[in-house]
Amino acid sequence: MPSRPSLLSGLFGLRCPRCRRGDLFPTGSFSFKQPFEQYEHCPKCAKDYFPEPGFYWGAMFLSYIGSGFFCLGFVMLLHWVFDLSLATSFVALITVGALLFVWWFRFSRALYFYMVTPYQKEFTEGVDAGTITAPTPKATSSH
Ligand SMILES: [Zn+2]
């Protein structure tokens, strides 16, 4: 029997917070395909991924706070610790920001979703045992 997925493996794997088995997003974050598409529900346990209109508004604040501190820390590290010029530091920041942009958008949503959704081990067990199934979800970006 597969082991129970940990909080961190579920969160960083961008999986459903209830069963930690189903993907939140249809494509890989670094494939840069359909970057803002998200499944409408969990492909494994059918958890609704959009419980109410504007649900992921809160994720925007997490994203803003996290990216703000990341940008500050990244430029300060390059400029003060590694003694790069400010221009070089900002070019590096923009490069890293462009690479992490989709992942960060998705991770912020996942983090917010995990903050408000309790893990229910019965759903992991049901998915693993095949007693809980879900119809194939559509992907959407229009909520
Ligand atoms: Zn699920």
Per-residue pLDDT tens over the stretch 67-92? 999 999 999 999 999 999 999 999 99
Average pLDDT of the segment spanning 109-133: 96
- Spatial CA neighbour of 14 closest among 103, 118, 85: 103
SS (H, E, C) 9-49: HHHHCCECCCCCCCECCCCCCCCCCCCCCEECECCCCCCEC
CA of 135 to the centre of ligand 1 (A): 12
State the distance from the centre of ligand 1 to the C-alpha of 22, rounded, in angstroms: 5
Q: What's the rounded mean pLDDT across residues 13-22?
A: 97
Could you tell me what percent of the chain has a pLDDT over 90? 94
Question: Which one, of 14, 62, 17, 23, lies nearest residue 44 by Cα?
Answer: 23
Residues in the chain: 143
Q: Report the distance separating Cα 32 and Cα 1, nearest Å.
A: 34
Using 50, 70 and 90 to split pLDDT, how confident is the model at 1? low
Element (H, E) at 140: strand 139-140
What is the residue-averaged pLDDT of the chain?
Answer: 95
Query: How far is Cα 20 from Cα 6, in angstroms, rounded to an integer?
Result: 8
Closest CA to 129 of 2, 10, 14: 2
CA of 79 to the centre of ligand 1 (A): 43
Q: What is the dihedral of CA 105, 110, 112, 114, to 10 degrees?
A: -170
pLDDT at 116 exceeding the cut of 70 = yes
pLDDT at position 112 is 97
- How far is ligand 1, taken at its centre, from the CA of residue 71, in Å? 33
Ligand 1 centroid–CA 116 distance in Å is 14
